[in-house]
Amino acid sequence: MSDKIHEFGFDTLQIHAGSRPDPATGARQTPIYQTTAYVFRDAEHAAALFNLQEVGYIYSRLTNPTVAVLQERIATLEGGSGAVCCSSGHAAQIMALFPLMSPGRNVVVSTRLYGGSVTQFSQTIKRFGWSAKFVDIDDTDAVKAAIDDDTRAIFCESIANPGGHIADIDTLAKIADDAGLPLIVDNTSATPYLCRPIEHGATLVVHSMTKFLTGNGTVTGGCVVDSGTFDWSASDKFPSLSEPEPAYHGLKFHETFGPLAFTFHGIAIGLRDLGMTLNPQAAHYTLMGIETLSLRMQKHVENAETVASWLENHDAVEAVTYAGLKSSPSYDRVAKICPKGAGGLFTVALKGGYEACVKLVDNLELFSHVANLGDTRSLVIHSASTTHRQLTPEQQTAAGAAPNVVRISIGIEDADDIIADLDQALKKASS
């Protein structure tokens, strides 16, 4: 079905894209190819595979048939040319930047990011000689001003974790384009069901598959999707993709693989040498999750809208950041960026401040107090004392995780039950 795949709708593609009955057994569900290596037909076949002259399976650090189905499925759902899966969302961010960066280069990133990403970008990437410049991405002048000769990408989240801020991806893509740079969008909170960043001009999309894509809190995984549209050879800024690669006898990835250059580089260099590989068992769980992605996201959105409206009118609540509420500064962007809804993640600021937040978290019963989101279960966390703990108070506030705020990931339980739990816990938190 691969050559007519574009005719199918999202609900069909989330089940079928990339998968076909197993050629060896006819198994309808994608088998978990629990194997490390693959037998070569002969020495010539092995040599062709190692030279990247023929595409096939060598060793599961690079490629695995179960993982390959997942890669094709996500690439299709995002409207990209290819995708590389890896072991976590954070691995995906390194895998996305790795071909673009080198010592002395920088990436312009949004201040509104998942706390772990703020730490990864502000601290850890320095060890590679890379740096990040944090800017308010709604301030287009600031974004433009932050770009210099050493900038190699712009990075933002479509719907930001935890505050629910929605990025104006079209405007950022235009700025990136004018500067000859790729725009990387972390689409974890939105998923391709709610937002397709490539349609808004993004070059690369990264995911923590740990969250909504898998959807039930079972495995960690990440993914980098390439739009296939960026001209890596237009400038001398991206030599890893445009210049001869010594490790492959001078092969030029962009010239040789065209729209698949980034994907092939991610496998042949990124996974080969960084080794942040996704295992086939994890790929299986994520494939199972994606089969019901649209149904789950509809229910996450429906519940989030109901619960956020209820919370907004509660006496103990100071503010709710859900972009699906008219009071949100991002509300106007929902129709343009994520027309099927603003997701299932938001923050709630309590009038009782830090103390009330901690009491709320401790008294919730249906909600689980965990450092995760995008589960079928409703989840809660006090970001300032956990996921965003490493950040300065200024960074916490800029990221939407001030001390008086709890992050809520609305599950797909009955909305009445979610509200009842919040109601009893808020009473205790404000007494």
Residues 6+ apart with CB under 8 A from 126: none
Between 49 and 408, CB nearer to ligand PLP: 408
d(CA 321, CA 327): 8
Mode of pairing for the β-strands spanning 183-186 and 151-157: parallel
Element (H, E) at 318: strand 317-320
Among the listed residues 219, 194, 218, 220, the one whose alpha carbon sits nearest the alpha carbon of residue 205: 194
Q: Does 186 bind ligand PLP (CB under 6 A)?
A: yes
Between 116 and 163, CB nearer to ligand PLP: 116
- The angle that helices 353-363 and 415-429 make with each other, rounded to 10 degrees, is 130
CB 118 within 8 A of CB 396: no
Between 240 and 387, CB nearer to ligand PLP: 387
Between 211 and 359, CB nearer to ligand PLP: 211
Q: Does 191 bind ligand PLP (CB under 6 A)?
A: no
* Of positions 210, 277, 328, 395, contacts ligand PLP by CB under 6 A: 210
Piece of the chain touching ligand PLP by CB under 6 A; list 56-64, 109-117, 315-323, 421-429? 109-117
Q: Does 382 bind ligand PLP (CB under 6 A)?
A: no
Binding track over 67-96 against ligand PLP, x by CB under 6 A: ---------------------xxx------
Between 196 and 211, CB nearer to ligand PLP: 211
* Of positions 78, 157, 245, 312, contacts ligand PLP by CB under 6 A: 157
At its nearest, how many Å lie between ligand PLP and the CB of residue 188?
Answer: 4
Dig out the tokens for 257 from the structure.
Answer: 């693989």
Q: Does 158 bind ligand PLP (CB under 6 A)?
A: no
Site for ligand PLP in 30-69 (CB under 6 A): none
Residues 6+ apart with CB under 8 A from 322: 164, 304, 305, 308, 328, 342, 346
Between 186 and 305, CB nearer to ligand PLP: 186
* Of positions 63, 66, 106, 117, contacts ligand PLP by CB under 6 A: 117
d(CA 322, CA 328): 6
Between 117 and 303, CB nearer to ligand PLP: 117
Q: Does 387 bind ligand PLP (CB under 6 A)?
A: no
At its nearest, how many Å lie between ligand PLP and the CB of residue 409?
Answer: 9
Q: Does 211 bind ligand PLP (CB under 6 A)?
A: yes
For the residues of 383-416, what is the DSSP string, one character each? GGGTTTTTS-HHHHHHTT--TTEEEEE--SS-HH
Piece of the chain touching ligand PLP by CB under 6 A; list 144-152, 183-191, 252-260, 296-304? 183-191
Q: Torsion angle, CA of 307/312/318/321, rounded to 10 degrees?
A: 70
Binding track over 393-412 against ligand PLP, x by CB under 6 A: --------------------
Element (H, E) at 350: strand 345-350
CB 364 within 8 A of CB 425: yes
At its nearest, how many Å lie between ligand PLP and the CB of residue 385?
Answer: 17
Count of Cβ atoms closer than 10 Å to residue 414 Cβ: 11
Mode of pairing for the β-strands spanning 131-135 and 106-110: parallel
Three-point CA angle 372, 187, 136, nearest 5°: 95
Between 89 and 324, CB nearer to ligand PLP: 89
Q: Does 189 bind ligand PLP (CB under 6 A)?
A: yes
Between 337 and 429, CB nearer to ligand PLP: 337
- The angle that helices 293-312 and 415-429 make with each other, rounded to 10 degrees, is 40
At its nearest, how many Å lie between ligand PLP and the CB of residue 186?
Answer: 5
Count of Cβ atoms closer than 10 Å to residue 274 Cβ: 16
The closest residue (CB) to ligand PLP is 89
At its nearest, how many Å lie between ligand PLP and the CB of residue 95?
Answer: 11
Residues at the contact surface with ligand PLP, assessed by CB under 6 A: 88-90, 114, 116-117, 157, 161, 186, 188-189, 208, 210-211, 220, 222, 373
